[in-house]
Amino acid sequence: MTGRARPQAAKAGPVTLERVRKVLLIRLRRIGDVVCVTPCIRAVKETFPDAHLAVLVEKAAEEVLLGNPYVDELIVLDKKNFKMGGRLGTLWEELKFLLALRRERFDLTINLHGGPRSTLQTLFSGARYRLGGFIDWHHWNWVYNIRTRPLVEMLGDNGRHAHIVERHLATLKAAGIETSDRRLSMTVSQDAQASLDRLLKEKEASGNGRFATIHPASRSRAKRWREERFAELADRLIEDFGATVVLVTGPGEEAASKRVQEAMRRGAVDLGGRISLQELAALLSHSTLYIGLDSGALHVAAALGVPMVALFGPTSDAWRPWTDHGIVVRAPSPCRGCGGSCPWDPSPCMDGISVDHVFDAVLRLRAAHRLDW
């Protein structure tokens, strides 16, 4: 194929891409979003092993891809730089960023995000091949000359219920980009491990091979679980298994872990708001159990293969942890799938999860994976 690729019909087979020497993959937003495209990053590099692969992410998720062996270049979008100098300053900074992408001269741009900003980035990249778009008609679809096809066509009758990883990989397949290894991945740096070791030593936490890491916070009110229940659960892990419980949260959420610790009868190691994403990955790589809500940390734990129990309420199954070592706990609720716009506080789909429900999941996980604690 030479020149610009023509838009593909819905039922067309994979496009044959020629002379692909430089690839841009775009995935904006948060940590979990970027973790879930790591199988796609692997697929691109396996399909085009000699091509230069650049991945565009936002600042908050930059550490997900540090040290990733398939990424040749990491392009970081820091939206704080766009908020200086008023509206004209913002437009100028956006334009400078887009023009910088243009100068990279990509042959193939893959947009796995789909919002207006990433669509403009795709367009300005000037790539000969542009893969992405919206499943249904959308006024931005003209940007893409290799289009995402309907989920039912790509993934069968259950396509609309498919995991986001499956959806992304099906999108790549339209361009003949595939991998047999669909696992998530994340690399832990030696610096992050050394930094975490120093912090744990300062906290006098040895772990004894029984770190149970708990993430008790969520940005969304509808996805939260009562903090006193997290405290009761943590106490049971300590009393029944001799676990060393480590509480973690993201920036600005440290008050949640502090309240959980204060409600506990036993002592926990509170690292809420104190560790970076890479340090969190280092901690999880040495944890024998992870328990948490719908958050980026959940997907990091899945990428590292940590046995986990995930507490889900309004979150779609499309965002369940992509792992064979996890159990999702839900409460029976007729309003599942509201997307977090629940009018009740606490939300019934989360409040219906009891401590016994979660502890039972821990026991099942322990038996299934023969955990040594």
Is 169 found in the same domain as 194? no
The encoded tokens of residue 233 equal: 């659960």
Mean pLDDT of the chain: 89
In tens, the pLDDT along 51-107 reads: 999 999 999 999 999 999 999 999 999 877 766 666 776 788 889 999 999 999 999
Is 151 found in the same domain as 123? yes
Is 214 found in the same domain as 359? yes
Q: How confident is the model at residue 335 (pLDDT cuts 50, 70, 90)?
A: low
pLDDT at 85: 63
Is 320 found in the same domain as 225? yes
Is 274 found in the same domain as 213? yes
- Alpha-carbon span 332 to 350, nearest angstrom: 9
Is 128 found in the same domain as 196? no
Q: How confident is the model at residue 350 (pLDDT cuts 50, 70, 90)?
A: very high
Is 127 found in the same domain as 35? yes
Q: Let me know if residue 182 belongs to a domain.
A: no
Length of the chain: 373
Is 353 found in the same domain as 250? yes
Q: How confident is the model at residue 3 (pLDDT cuts 50, 70, 90)?
A: very low
Q: Let me know if residue 339 belongs to a domain.
A: yes
> What's the CATH number where 93 sits?
3.40.50.2000
Query: Looking at per-residue confidence, does 69 or 344 come out higher?
Result: 69
Give SS3 for 244: strand
Q: Let me know if residue 102 belongs to a domain.
A: yes
Contact 53/25 with Cβ under 8 angstroms?
yes
Q: Let me know if residue 7 belongs to a domain.
A: no
Q: Let me know if residue 101 belongs to a domain.
A: yes
Lookup result for tokens 């008023």: 86
Q: How confident is the model at residue 5 (pLDDT cuts 50, 70, 90)?
A: very low
The encoded tokens of residue 268 equal: 């926990």
In tens, the pLDDT along 15-30 reads: 788 899 999 999 999 9
pLDDT at 10: 41
End-of-domain residue from the set 146, 173, 200: 173
pLDDT average, residue stretch 196-200? 94
Is 225 found in the same domain as 122? no
In tens, the pLDDT along 169-190 reads: 999 998 999 999 999 999 999 9
Q: What range does the domain containing 35 cover?
A: 22-173
In tens, the pLDDT along 274-317 reads: 999 999 999 999 999 999 999 999 999 999 999 999 999 988 89
Q: Let me know if residue 183 belongs to a domain.
A: no
Alpha helices in the chain (DSSP H): 31-35, 38-47, 86-103, 116-124, 151-155, 164-173, 190-202, 227-241, 254-263, 277-285, 296-303, 348-351, 355-369
Most confident of 92-96, 134-138, 234-238: 234-238
Is 200 found in the same domain as 165? no
% of the chain surpassing 90 pLDDT: 71
Structural domains of the chain, count: 2
pLDDT at 337: 56
Residues 6+ apart with CB under 8 A from 292: 213, 214, 215, 216, 298, 301, 308, 310, 311
| For residue 7, pLDDT beyond 50 | no
Query: Looking at per-residue confidence, does 6 or 94 come out higher?
Result: 94
Q: Let me know if residue 139 belongs to a domain.
A: yes
Is 331 found in the same domain as 304? yes
In tens, the pLDDT along 147-157 reads: 887 778 888 88
CB 306: neighbour CB atoms within 10 A?
Answer: 23
pLDDT at 242: 92
End-of-domain residue from the set 114, 138, 173: 173
Q: Let me know if residue 4 belongs to a domain.
A: no
CB 354: neighbour CB atoms within 10 A?
Answer: 14
pLDDT at 174: 87
pLDDT at 151: 78
pLDDT average, residue stretch 183-211? 90
Is 361 found in the same domain as 310? yes
Residue whose C-alpha is closest to residue 174's, from 155, 197, 161? 155
Say if pTM beats, i.e. exceeds, 0.85. yes
- Alpha-carbon span 114 to 168, nearest angstrom: 11
Helix axes 116-124, 86-103, angle to 10 degrees: 40
pLDDT average, residue stretch 217-225? 91
